[in-house]
């Protein structure tokens, strides 16, 4: 018996990719990103206040590092070069890396310069840094006569 084969009788393989699940996943990811993107940015202008709280007790022999308006450094009352900061701190703290360093900066010193000095302190091993400000007055008020930082 001779059998005649028709092309319609054989099963066909589908050589197309079903993209419907792929599109569903992409749409879900798109919605997730659209919802979370605004939450990841901080776009709130802020004017940070000065402190009017009672200051913490001052140690007996504090180590003050000052960043002057011309971006020069002073350790205590003595001017130092940025390259000599590590050696001067070692001498002032007698090698005690746990001693708190009181960092003062002029109002006109930019943030990048202040962070550079803090990076040098961290590199030197001094991780306890306290930022010094004028206490007990509102921002913009003149300091009381005869007072110092």
What CATH code is carried by the domain that includes residue 127? 3.30.420.270
The reply to whether 94 falls in a domain is: yes
126 CB neighbour count, 10 Å cutoff: 24
**Is residue 103 domain-resident?**
yes
Let me know if residue 43 belongs to a domain: no
Q: Is 80 inside any structural domain?
A: yes
Q: Assess contact for 63 and 75: CB atoms under 8 A.
A: yes
Domain annotation covers residue 117: yes
- Does residue 146 lie in a domain region? no
- Show pLDDT as tens, one digit a residue, over the chain (149 residues): 666 666 566 666 767 888 899 999 999 999 998 888 776 665 555 455 566 777 667 777 888 888 888 888 888 888 888 888 889 989 888 888 888 888 888 888 888 988 999 999 999 899 888 887 765 555 555 544 444 44
If one counts the domains in the chain, the total is 1
* Type and span of the H or E element at 30: helix 20-40
Tokens of 7: 């092309």
- Per the structure, the complete domain to which residue 117 belongs is given by 63-131
């Amino acid at each position: 018996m001779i059998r005649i084969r028709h092309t319609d009788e054989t099963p066909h393989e589908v050589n197309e990719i079903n993209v419907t699940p792929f599109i569903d996943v992409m749409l879900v990811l798109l919605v997730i990103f659209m919802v979370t993107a605004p939450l990841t940015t901080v776009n709130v202008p802020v004017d940070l206040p000065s402190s009017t709280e009672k200051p913490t007790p001052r140690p007996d022999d504090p180590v003050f590092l000052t960043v002057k308006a011309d971006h020069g450094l002073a350790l205590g009352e003595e001017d130092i070069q940025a390259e000599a900061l590590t050696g001067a701190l070692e001498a002032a703290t007698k090698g005690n890396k746990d001693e708190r360093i009181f960092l003062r900066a002029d109002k006109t010193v930019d943030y990048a310069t202040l962070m550079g000095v803090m990076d040098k302190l961290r590199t030197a091993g001094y991780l306890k840094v306290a930022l010094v400000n004028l206490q007990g007055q509102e921002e913009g008020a003149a300091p009381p006569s005869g007072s110092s930082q």
